[in-house]
Structure 1
């Protein structure tokens, strides 16, 4: 007598592991299938997922303790292992990420942690992938979201940044002042070499209506304000 069957639909980007009497009978891809009566179907989502790792305090190589948070991009590539190997495969990936972060960052000094581009994340990704593949999971990436330094170190880093900016501002001010003094010195040498330029500058600087009186036989000059009499009047 043939076993009764009924239809089952496996959604897109998922698959289904089928068991009958406790024995795995196959893995169904997306689509519509016939399922024998008495069988059990375990759906598995194959889409990429994000696993957020809670903040954890990690000791550094120089004895400080920093708080880091991370996120893992992962997806299921072996649905059978994902269903059968571990009761909670996601917890396996989570723990592997925590341990890998602690081992990798424990060899890094605190000041290097402030420069995320120099963090040994390749080692973290490799370690997490090794643990994840056993439970049917492929890890695409491990992203370090936040690195929270101790308050004392954050204060020192802020003071260092302020000192650098203040020094840069003072240096720029000194450069501007030096350039101005150099320009004045060049102007003074030019006036000493050409006295006529000094008189020209004096003429240009007098207010409108002021008469300029030159002393006879000399290059001296004096100003006569409007409305006043000169010695020659």
Structure 2
């Protein structure tokens, strides 16, 4: 048997919306309601812990009911803004452009409006909120050795120090370009240059620099390439006015000259050039062979000179010894004994012929020499 009475029960944490033939009539607070089955009345029960939403009905349908509005918090979000929604002081959700309504029966609601035409998230925003907005904002991290350059719609805004920065994904294009402030090295390898005396050679050169003005460095298109070309031109200018022998002799001075010239461009490039120097000078094979021959000849001449000096010193020493022995008979006698000792050390065996005693012969020899010395 078909029911003649329709009963609707609204609990304490619920609210009901009464409709008559599809049109909204009024709010139903907690309680029990009965309607005749043929009256055309129907009720929609809503959980007050959830946002106000009626399927198939726009929020504007309910705005005329003053009693309903007493229990609702309505938020209209414009096209150029987002709204941060908090429930009982805790972040709940982000509201994009549109109309929203929330029951105030069980929870307190608060809202923070942000203009997304200003892309940077408010500084007073809790650090726990941005990670929950991944779909609506972008994160940029600047390392401790970097600086960031912030652009809105390709217009420079300011320099960013190391840290984390969040920006809204909205109508304004946001770009953050990072610049490395650490010491950097530029290597020039196998640079072919011709000296003043038409000797082709190759240079391996290196210089170190550090960026001091990130914006200036960023404004130079192809920064690394332009620094390389500047270094190349300075080297060609210096080496091209020197002869090979002069270049090899003052090789250590090339770095100082180049560094001095590079330092003149510090401000224009927004950098500080720290050091520069020649790593290698590579000569053609035939030139290298010639230099090796010259070097060998020089070393031989030096060796011969040293030998002559030693021989002269030895002769001078012998002459001094002879003069001393001539003036001192005792010294002469000692020298004789020294040589006799050396002779005896080298004698392995002695063969005698003609008889006679060896000792007597040696004594007579030495005695005869001694007599000559006294006379």
Q: TM-score range by the shorter chain?
A: 0.7 to 0.9
Which residue of 1 is the match for residue 154 of structure 2? 22
Match of 2:243 among 92, 98, 109: 109
Which residue of 2 is the match for residue 180 of structure 1? 314
Deviation at 1:61, TM superposition (A): 1.4
Deviation at 1:203, TM superposition (A): 5.1
Which residue of 1 is the match for residue 371 of structure 2? 219
Is 1:151 aligned to 2:274, yes or no? no
Q: Does the 8 Å contact 2:140/2:176 carry over to 1? A: no
Q: Does the 8 Å contact 2:256/2:277 carry over to 1? A: no
* Gap runs ≥5 in structure 1: 221-233
Larger RCO of the pair (alpha carbons < 8 Å, separation 6+): 1
Q: Does the 8 Å contact 2:150/2:159 carry over to 1? A: yes
Which residue of 2 is the match for residue 210 of structure 1? 359
* Runs of 4+ with deviation above 6 angstroms: none
* Gap runs ≥5 in structure 2: 1-80, 82-114, 122-136, 346-357
Is 1:35 aligned to 2:167, yes or no? yes
Which residue of 1 is the match for residue 210 of structure 2? 75
Match of 2:234 among 100, 118, 141: 100
Deviation at 1:192, TM superposition (A): 4.6
Is 1:136 aligned to 2:287, yes or no? no
* Aligned mates of 1:197, 1:139 — CA distance in 2: 73
The TM-score, its normalising length taken from structure 2, stands at: 0.50
Helix, strand or coil for the counterpart of 2:371? coil
Q: Deviation per CA, 1:44-64, whole angstroms, max 9, x where unpaired?
A: 111110011121111111221
Deviation at 1:170, TM superposition (A): 1.9
* Aligned mates of 2:220, 2:333 — CA distance in 1: 99
Q: Deviation per CA, 1:16-69, whole angstroms, max 9, x where unpaired?
A: 111122222221011233434442211111111001112111111122122112
* Aligned mates of 1:26, 1:170 — CA distance in 2: 73
Larger radius of gyration: 2
Which residue of 2 is the match for residue 61 of structure 1? 196
Which residue of 2 is the match for residue 225 of structure 1? none
CA 1:22–1:196: 2 relative to 1, 3 Å: closer
Deviation at 1:106, TM superposition (A): 0.8
* Aligned mates of 2:211, 2:315 — CA distance in 1: 71
Aligned residues: CA RMSD: 3.1
Helix, strand or coil for the counterpart of 2:259? helix
Of the structure 1 ranges 177-186 and 200-209, higher mean CA displacement relative to structure 2 is found in: 200-209
